[in-house]
């Protein structure tokens, strides 16, 4: 499995732990005001990152590209900033709204970069080309 795919899975599991901890905290405290942050941590952090990792595991030639590494950095930075800023915005800190907005745009840029990775026409490896020629 490509290193970048493994990195995505490791990062995803960190966000899953954080998301579950946030959910447990909401249940224990009875304060569900941060449900939106909890959902975003699980969806953008755990699910989306795991899907990015799965795709790159099946497309190892794309996982080795410089663009894929840049995309990982952009997306991860966006999610890592957006999650706590959204959490504290929902806890009553309206001054964080610009940070949530900016980090949301960074996350979106990361998604757009992943779309470029997926749609790029990176040439097949020599072994793949031979396999495709015989099919």
Residue 39 has pLDDT above 80, yes or no: yes
Residue 127 has pLDDT above 90, yes or no: no
pLDDT band at 122 (very low <50, low <70, confident <90, very high): low
Residue 130 has pLDDT above 50, yes or no: no
Backbone Cα Rg of the chain:
18
Residue 50 has pLDDT above 50, yes or no: yes
- Tens digits of residue pLDDT in 72-83: 999 999 999 999
Q: Where are the domains of the chain?
A: 3-121
The answer to whether residues 34 and 95 touch, using CB atoms and an 8 Å cutoff, is no
Give phi and psi for 64, each to the nearest 5.
-85, -5
Which DSSP helix (H) or strand (E) runs through 14?
Answer: helix 3-29
Angle at 18 between CA 12 and CA 24, to 5 degrees: 135
This prediction's pTM: 0.87
Task: Find the length of the chain.
Answer: 135
CA–CA gap between residue 14 and residue 20 (Å, rounded):
10
pLDDT band at 108 (very low <50, low <70, confident <90, very high): very high
């Amino acid at each position: 499995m490509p290193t970048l795919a493994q990195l995505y899975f490791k990062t995803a599991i960190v966000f899953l732990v954080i998301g579950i901890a946030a959910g447990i905290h909401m249940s224990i405290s009875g304060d569900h005001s941060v449900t939106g942050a909890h959902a975003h941590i699980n969806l953008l952090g755990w699910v989306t990152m795991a899907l990015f990792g799965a795709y790159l595991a099946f497309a190892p030639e794309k996982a080795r590209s410089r663009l894929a590494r840049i995309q990982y950095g952009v997306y991860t930075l966006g999610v890592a900033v957006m999650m706590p800023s959204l959490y504290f915005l929902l806890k009553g800190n309206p001054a964080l709204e610009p940070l949530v907005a900016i980090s949301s745009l960074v996350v979106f840029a990361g998604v757009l970069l992943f779309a470029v990775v997926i749609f790029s026409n990176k040439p097949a490896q020599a072994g793949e080309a031979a396999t495709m020629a015989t099919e």
